[in-house]
């Protein structure tokens, strides 16, 4: 799987670093070589057993594996969790629902030893990627990356939050987008950044082979994906950590 994660050698790192320094966020387009991006998309689209992640308020988020969602008990629990998330969101509180595959957890629990997702996590922790992240962000003490695969399908969303897990060493959030090239604004799934008044100060459209990097804590959300949107906004997401 040598081509699973090859960085584009033509990236203009100084320009990207200047952009990040000015705003605390940047979208790195064409971050991987075309061949590598296509291979990674194939892993997500064809080789990922998607479960569900659901969160409501300050309660611990729930993760439902693909196997669990295929059981009657799991479906009932998922539906209840989704209702709880919607109720919190309706009150203007935190809530989310999206499909995911928790790569770090699967590695720890040995779900698929030596599989493509494990190889991907290894690539995200190589000097090549971490050095790129350090150079763009200017944060020299970035130590490691975690990861999950995410899929925002119709009726999925991620409510406004800040990722304020400073004690866990979170420094920079990343989203490696592998959405369709023709992703339309009406399909939602945008990563939006907000000011203290709740106004949008910047937004990144889901793009194929585009890496979003942004310093945390920072107020942001992923907009609701409507029922008529295609399937779906796939990405690899996580945090770059200092510990």
Query: Domain segments of the chain: what residues?
Result: 13-48+107-241
Find the mean pLDDT for residues 16-36.
Answer: 98
Predicted confidence (pLDDT) at residue 1 exceeds the cutoff of 60: no
Strands (E), the chain: 25-29, 51-56, 62-64, 95-101, 144-145, 148-152, 157-161, 170-178, 191-194, 200-204, 208-215, 220-222, 233-241
- pLDDT tens digits, one per residue of 115-162: 999 999 999 999 999 999 999 999 999 999 999 999 999 999 999 999
Percent of the chain, pLDDT > 90? 93
- Confidence at residue 2, expressed as pLDDT on a 0 to 100 scale: 58
| Closest C-alpha to 206, from 12, 41, 17 | 41
Average pLDDT taken over every residue of the chain = 96
Predicted confidence (pLDDT) at residue 169 exceeds the cutoff of 90: no
- pLDDT tens digits, one per residue of 96-114: 999 999 999 999 999 999 9
Residue 240 vs residues 35, 81, 216: alpha-carbon distances, Å: 25, 28, 10
- Confidence at residue 166, expressed as pLDDT on a 0 to 100 scale: 64
Q: Is the pTM of this model over 0.75?
A: yes
CATH number given to 13-48+107-241: 2.60.120.620
């Amino acid at each position: 799987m040598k081509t699973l994660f090859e960085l584009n050698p033509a990236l203009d790192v100084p320009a990207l670093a200047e952009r990040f320094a000015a705003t605390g966020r940047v979208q790195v387009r064409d971050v991987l070589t075309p061949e590598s991006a296509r291979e990674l998309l194939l892993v997500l689209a064809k080789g990922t057993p998607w479960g569900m992640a659901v969160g409501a308020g300050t309660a611990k988020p729930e993760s439902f594996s693909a196997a669990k969602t295929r059981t009657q008990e799991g479906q009932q629990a998922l539906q209840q969790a989704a209702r709880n998330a919607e109720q919190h969101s309706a009150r203007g509180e935190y809530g989310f629902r999206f499909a995911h595959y928790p790569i770090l957890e699967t590695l720890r629990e040995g779900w698929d030893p030596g599989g493509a997702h494990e190889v991907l996590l290894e690539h995200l922790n190589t000097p090549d990627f971490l050095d790129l992240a350090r150079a763009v962000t200017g944060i020299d003490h970035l130590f490691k990356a975690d990861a999950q695969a995410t899929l925002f399908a119709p009726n999925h969303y991620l409510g406004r939050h800040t990722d304020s897990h400073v004690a866990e060493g979170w420094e920079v959030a990343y989203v490696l987008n592998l959405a369709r090239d023709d992703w339309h604004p009406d399909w939602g799934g945008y990563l939006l950044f907000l000011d203290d008044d709740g106004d949008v100060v910047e937004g990144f459209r889901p793009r194929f082979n585009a890496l979003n990097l942004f310093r945390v804590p920072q107020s942001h959300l992923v907009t609701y994906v409507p029922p008529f949107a295609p399937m779906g906004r796939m990405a690899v997401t996580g945090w770059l950590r200092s510990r």
